[in-house]
Amino acid sequence: MLSCATLDTVYALRRNELRQMIKYIHSQAGKQVNVGQQLFLSVLNVITNMLWGGTVKGDERAGVGAEFRKVITEITGFLGMPNLSDFYPGLARFDLQGIQKKSKVLAQRFDAIFEKMIEQRRLNDIRSESKDFLQFLLQLKGQGDARTPLTMTHIKALLMDMVVGGSDTTSNTVEFALAEMMNKPEVLRKVQEEVDRVVGKNRVVEESDIPNLPYLYAVMKEQLRLHPALPLLVPHCPSETCIVGGYTIPKGARVFINVWAIHRDPSIWENPSDFRPERFIDSKWDYSGNDFNYFPFGSGRRICAGTAMAERMFMFSLASLVHSFDWKTADGDNIDLAEKFGIVLKKKTPLVAIPTPRLSDASLYT
């Protein structure tokens, strides 16, 4: 599903969702827009369409999307919440903080959504020639495998991983990047000049334009350095006791890698707290995971499976937003970039900004 070849085939889907977002923002020109919420809805629609063909349209967009985002935010919040039971296993059965109880309620809400999608697939798409991810999984389950059977629980867990892992992380990352650029007008100006030079103002950005936007690419890398989507990466758990850097890591221990701190280490990065995309122009840094000074997507076998998808959605979304609109805050003050720390990093205060159209023809926004 996340291979480059597959992502190429669903470009029209990404483009359609981005154009819907730009159209909505254009309708709100001169008014305050919750940028993160609109980004979340677009990414959510792309992912759910790839998974099972579902989408949030029209008047449903704000309501259903906001509810989905609320559930995902609560789930990721519980995943990152310190739990007394982890430190004192004997207390686990008491669930003193109510984390287990509340998590089960959220899981049931997700389960109901997935049950509905699965049932619709079974009833409506038996004769469909096109195959989405859910159809493929149902086919595998039907074929059966005695050694590694695929159950309905496995299918729903995979769907949940894809929705939770892909939607909030990508939208938060783009929201942070736009906020950083609005606080650094010279960076925003450079990005807009680059996009105007490549695209012009008489047509819209296409994904094929992205390879010709090196400065925007540097903005993405710098954003991932300062505000990695998963500041502690995905937890690791060794299957055997091992020694790493002189430290004994017991079998079954939960290991977190603080990539947020590594990316702000003054012994590695000059002025590490500054948002300065220029540091990535013609630099050696990439996010392949081969350099442990910069690895926002992780490394090795546990590196993020959705890196290619995240890169395309980030570049395409941000290029479209800054190409189509100028952005400002209602009071003209700098944006608060305080972070809300957790398994998923997000802005403590949502980015609410006022868009002003900058393309030559209003028809380009339809």
Sign, CA torsion 224/225/227/228: positive
Least confident of 159-168, 320-329, 332-341: 159-168
304 is in an annotated binding site: yes
Write down the pLDDT at residue 119: 80
Write down the pLDDT at residue 65: 63
Query: Cα–Cα distance between 9 and 2 in angstroms, integer?
Result: 11
Write down the pLDDT at residue 161: 85
How do residues 178-195 score in pLDDT, each as one tens digit?
999 999 999 999 999 999
CATH class for the domain made up of 4-365? mainly alpha
How do residues 89-103 score in pLDDT, each as one tens digit?
888 899 999 999 999
Instruction: Say what the pTM is.
Output: 0.88
